[in-house]
C-alpha cells in the first residue's frame, strides 16, 4: 500500500542536512511497516530494534553513551552490518526506553553520517510525562490513518485519485456518483491499514469489522498498561462517551454527559492522555474568526473527535448496511460520520482546526481553518441538501471572508461561498496551504 508520507521519508533519506528522525503516530497507523518499507526500497540493509520487551536493547542504550559503542552494540543485537548511507537503523517503540531519545542527540552530533529513525505508538504520552527530548537535534514527522486518497490507491483506483489531485471539476462532477460510492466504502473501512488491507484483499466486511475491534481492544489494553491507575476509569469514560456526544446536535464536549455533576478538572488529564496517544483529536473554539486563529483560541470549549471514521463505526456497532447501501450514513447520526471524516482529513494536511460559535445567536461554524492567505469558515453538510442559515448569516456579517462548504454537491464557486465535494476537498485545500 502506498502512503503519502513515504515521499517525505525519501526526501529525508536523500537530504544532506538530515538528522535522526522521530516518527510520531497512534498505534496501528502503519509506522513500523512504512519504516521497513523505506529500508527495503532505499537501503541495502535494515537494522531493526524494538524496545518492547527487549531487555538486551534497553540495557545497551542505557549503559553505552558513545556513538561508536552504540552502533557496535546495535549491529551485534541485530546481526546486521551498520554501514553509513547503506543501512537504515530503526528504533521502534522508543517510549519503552526513554534514554534512547537522549541518545539520538549523540548520533546527531557524533555520527551524522548514519541514517537513524525512531518511532513509538505512545511517544506523545512519554514526552508529556517529562521524558527528555533532544530539541533541535532531530527531524520530526507524523503518520496518521490512511486518507481517502490513500484508500483509493489501495483499492486500485489510481486514476480516480489522479483526477482528484488535478482538481478537474468538470470530470469530477461527472463522476461524482462513483466517488460517493467509494466514500461510502471508506466510511465503513476507515483508514487503519489492517482494516484497509483486509478489505482490498477481499476478506469480507466481517473481517474488516473484526480488525477494527482488535484495534479498539488494543487501545483499551493500553489504557490499563500505560495510564496511571487512578486515571484509567476516567479515560474509559471519555473514550466510550465520544460517539454519543458526536451524534448530538451540539457537538461541544459536555462533562455532565460523562456523569452527573462532571467537571473539567476531573477529566482534563484523561482527555490529555487520549490526545497524547493520538487516538482523539481536540478541536477548540475560537472567539474570533481572524488571523492568526491561535490568538483567539478558547481551550475551555472544545469538541473531541475519534482519529478514524471506520473505528467510529466499529465503536457504535453501525452495521455495514447502514453505511454502504443508500444514503443512510449521510442522513442519520446528525452528520457525525461526515464531521469525523472531515476533521481527520484536515488533520493530515497539518493545519490547526477550530470551530466557532457566535454568542447570543444560533450561528455555529462546524470548522474554521487558516490557510496561508486567510482564514476560512467551513460548513460540513452530509447530504446534497445544503440549506443552512449559519454560514450565510456569518458571511453577511463578515463580508471580507469567504466561506467553504464541504458537501455531496458538485463543485461550485460563488462570490461568498465555494462548495467543494467531500471526496475531493483534502487534496484541493492542501494545494492552498504553505505546508506542502
The ranges assigned to domains in the chain are 5-142, 148-430
96 and 58 in contact (C-beta within 8 Å)?
Answer: yes
Q: Which residues of the chain have pLDDT under 70?
A: 128-130, 326-334, 383-388, 434-436
**pLDDT for position 435:** 45
Q: What is the pLDDT of residues 173-230, one digit of tens each?
A: 999 999 999 999 999 999 999 999 999 999 999 999 999 999 999 999 999 988 999 9
Give residue for cell 449559519. Answer: 390
List the Cα angle 71/77/78 in 5-degree steps.
90
Q: Is 211 left (phi over 0), alpha (psi -120 to 50) or beta?
A: alpha
pTM: 0.93
Distance separating alpha carbons of residues 186 and 197, to the nearest angstrom: 12
271 and 302 in contact (C-beta within 8 Å)?
Answer: no
HSE value, Cβ hemisphere, 13 Å, CA-based, for 342: 29
Distance separating alpha carbons of residues 384 and 31, to the nearest angstrom: 37
121 and 25 in contact (C-beta within 8 Å)?
Answer: yes
Distance separating alpha carbons of residues 55 and 51, to the nearest angstrom: 8
Cα 247–chain centre separation:
21
In this structure, are strands 412-413 and 417-421 parallel, antiparallel, or unpaired? antiparallel
Task: Please name every residue paired with 356 in a beta bridge, in sequence order, or none if there are none.
Answer: 365
Using H for helix, E for strand and C for coil, what is the string for 144-210?
CCCCHHHHHHHCCCHHHHHHHHHCCHHHHHHCHHHHHHHHHHHHHHCCCHHHHHHHHCCCCHHHHHH
Residue 331's CB is within 10 A of a number of other CB atoms, namely 12
Distance separating alpha carbons of residues 353 and 208, to the nearest angstrom: 29
Residues 6+ apart with CB under 8 A from 403: 376, 377, 378, 379, 391, 394, 395, 416, 417, 418
Dihedral over alpha carbons 108, 112, 114, 116 (to 10 degrees): 30
Helices and strands of the chain, counted as H and E runs: 20, 13
C-alpha cell at 181: 460510492
Give residue for cell 483506483. Answer: 157
Q: What is the pLDDT of residues 123-147, one digit of tens each?
A: 877 776 667 788 899 999 999 999 9
**pLDDT for position 328:** 62
Determine phi and psi for 224, rounding to 5 degrees.
Answer: -70, -35
Superfamily (CATH H level) for 5-142: P-loop containing nucleotide triphosphate hydrolases (3.40.50.300)
Amino acid at each position: 500500500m502506498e502512503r503519502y508520507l513515504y515521499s517525505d521519508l525519501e526526501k529525508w533519506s536523500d537530504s544532506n542536512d538530515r538528522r535522526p528522525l522521530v516518527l510520531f503516530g497512534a498505534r496501528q497507523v502503519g509506522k513500523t511497516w512504512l519504516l521497513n518499507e523505506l529500508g527495503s526500497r532505499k537501503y541495502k540493509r535494515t537494522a531493526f530494534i524494538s524496545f518492547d520487551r527487549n531487555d538486551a536493547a534497553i540495557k545497551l542504550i542505557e549503559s553505552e553513551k558513545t556513538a561508536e559503542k552504540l552502533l557496535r552494540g546495535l549491529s551485534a543485537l541485530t546481526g546486521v552490518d551498520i554501514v553509513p548511507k547503506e543501512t537504515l537503523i530503526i528504533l521502534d517503540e522508543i517510549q519503552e526506553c526513554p534514554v534512547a531519545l537522549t541518545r539520538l542527540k549523540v548520533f546527531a552530533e557524533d555520527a551524522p553520517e548514519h541514517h537513524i529513525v525512531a518511532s513509538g505508538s505512545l511517544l506523545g504520552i512519554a514526552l508529556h510525562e517529562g521524558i527528555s527530548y533532544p530539541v533541535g537535534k532531530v527531524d520530526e514527522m507524523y503518520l496518521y490513518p490512511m486518507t481517502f486518497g490513500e484508500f483509493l490507491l489501495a483499492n486500485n483506483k489510481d486514476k480516480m485519485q489522479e483526477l482528484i489531485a488535478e482538481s478537474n471539476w468538470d470530470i469530477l462532477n461527472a463522476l461524482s456518483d462513483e466517488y460517493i460510492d467509494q466514500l461510502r466504502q471508506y466510511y465503513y473501512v476507515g483508514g487503519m491499514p489492517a482494516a484497509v488491507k483486509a478489505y482490498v484483499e477481499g476478506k469480507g466486511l466481517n473481517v474488516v469489522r473484526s480488525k477494527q475491534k482488535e484495534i479498539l481492544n488494543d487501545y483499551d489494553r493500553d489504557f490499563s498498561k500505560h495510564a496511571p491507575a487512578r486515571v484509567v476509569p476516567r479515560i474509559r469514560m471519555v473514550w466510550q462517551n465520544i460517539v454519543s456526544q458526536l451524534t448530538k446536535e451540539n457537538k461541544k464536549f459536555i462533562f455532565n454527559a460523562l456523569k452527573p455533576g462532571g467537571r473539567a478538572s476531573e477529566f482534563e488529564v484523561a482527555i490529555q492522555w487520549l490526545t497524547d496517544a493520538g487516538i482523539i483529536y481536540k478541536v477548540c473554539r475560537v472567539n474570533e474568526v481572524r488571523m492568526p486563529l491561535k490568538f483567539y483560541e478558547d481551550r475551555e470549549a472544545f469538541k473531541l473527535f475519534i482519529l478514524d471514521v471506520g473505528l467510529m463505526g466499529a465503536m457504535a456497532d453501525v452495521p455495514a448496511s447502514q453505511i454502504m447501501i443508500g444514503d443512510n450514513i449521510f442522513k442519520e447520526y446528525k452528520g457525525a460520520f461526515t464531521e469525523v471524516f472531515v476533521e481527520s482529513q484536515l488533520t493530515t494536511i497539518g493545519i490547526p482546526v477550530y470551530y466557532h460559535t457566535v454568542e447570543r445567536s444560533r450561528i455555529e461554524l462546524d470548522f474554521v481553518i487558516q490557510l496561508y492567505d486567510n482564514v476560512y469558515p467551513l460548513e460540513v453538510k452530509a447530504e446534497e441538501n445544503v440549506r443552512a442559515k449559519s454560514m450565510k448569516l456569518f458571511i453577511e456579517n463578515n463580508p471580507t471572508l469567504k466561506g467553504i462548504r464541504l458537501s455531496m454537491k458538485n463543485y461550485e464557486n460563488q462570490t461568498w461561498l465555494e462548495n467543494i465535494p467531500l471526496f475531493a476537498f483534502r487534496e484541493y485545500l492542501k494545494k492552498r496551504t504553505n505546508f506542502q
